[in-house]
Amino acid sequence: MDIIDSIILGVIQGLTEFLPVSSSGHLELGKAILGDHSIPQESLMFTVVLHFATALSTMVIFRKDIFTIFKSLFAFQWNEDTQLVVKILVSMIPAVIIGYNYESQLAELFGGSIQLVGFMLLITAFLLFLADKAKDTDKNVTFKNAFIIGIAQAIAMLPGISRSGATISASVLLGTDKTKAARFSFLIVVPLIFGKIAKDILTGDLTYNSESFVSLSIGFIAAFVSGLVACTWMITLVKKSKLTYFAIYCVVVGMIAIIYSSLNP
């Protein structure tokens, strides 16, 4: 993988992890555009590095929240921050169950099926449109809602379904305050990413070649920096009810993907 490809895929991951347009779907589209030859043999390592970068950018943006949460945990008090940790754990249950039991089936969906990505982007667009029309509230995420949001996150394992779009939409449609919905959506992905990385390391699935150090480093930096920008931007956009713009974008890209796959079977 050359430097340009590393930057492109890093920026795609960083932006689309937080913007509601599906990072997995755009990475599949990016691979199709760049050609499979642009993806290194250590593609899993490259993907893990990009996700690690976006997880770190989330931790930087929400560093005060994360510090407060850890501080509350060690205080051993059943307060709002401790409850947030439990809600995050509850939200992880669906994704962990599906990811553990159907990992190979999910992996088969990431085989360059542009048509699938296109249809899933249309579903993402529909969810974003509904969420943008939801009424403003000041409610927090409940334990029951945390589990439902977790189901939305599990469904977002499909390429083309935006994780942030699905979880924020589910949260808002359940009556959660939009800013709190975005905050919860971004916080719940951090333990999942680190959990997946730990699993890949323990199972020996990751392979590292010193020759790919430069491309990995550049991809990491690109994903981290673009992730910082996208995360901050997304919180503002959700608060101002600007998700319809992303819905239109998903419709356009989704239709292009469907038409392209139909013309190039």
Tell me the per-residue pLDDT of 127-179, one tens digit each, with 9 for 90 and over: 999 988 888 788 889 999 999 999 999 998 888 898 889 999 999 999 998 88
For 47, counting Cβ atoms within 10 Å of its Cβ (0-12 exposed, 13-18 middle, 19+ buried), the class is buried
The reported pLDDT for the residue numbered 206 is 63
The reported pLDDT for the residue numbered 216 is 86
Tell me how many degrees the CA angle 170-173-179 measures, rounded to the nearest 5.
Answer: 80
Mean per-residue pLDDT for 27-36? 68
What span, in angstroms and rounded, lies between the C-alpha atoms of 238 and 181? 9
Q: At what angle do helices 80-101 and 63-75 cross, to 10 degrees?
A: 100
What span, in angstroms and rounded, lies between the C-alpha atoms of 126 and 120? 10
pLDDT at 40 over 60: no
Quickly state the pLDDT bin for 39 (edges 50, 70, 90).
very low
Comparing 186 with 100, which gets the higher pLDDT? 186
What span, in angstroms and rounded, lies between the C-alpha atoms of 193 and 217? 18
pTM: 0.83
Q: What are phi and psi of 176, to 5 degrees?
A: -80, 145
Quickly state the pLDDT bin for 87 (edges 50, 70, 90).
very high
pLDDT at 38 over 50: no
Comparing 28 with 191, which gets the higher pLDDT? 191
8 Å CB contact between 250 and 104: no
111: which 2 tokens? 């085989």
The reported pLDDT for the residue numbered 208 is 62
Comparing 207 with 187, which gets the higher pLDDT? 187
Quickly state the pLDDT bin for 92 (edges 50, 70, 90).
very high
DSSP per position, 171-208: HHHTTB-HHHHHHHHHHHHHHHHHHHHHHHHHHT----
Tell the residue number behind the tokens 């850890």, with chain if given. Answer: 70
What span, in angstroms and rounded, lies between the C-alpha atoms of 119 and 20? 15
Quickly state the pLDDT bin for 111 (edges 50, 70, 90).
low
Burial 94-113 (b: 16+ CB within 10 A, else e): bbbebbeeeeeeeeebbeeb
The reported pLDDT for the residue numbered 86 is 92
pLDDT at 109 over 80: no
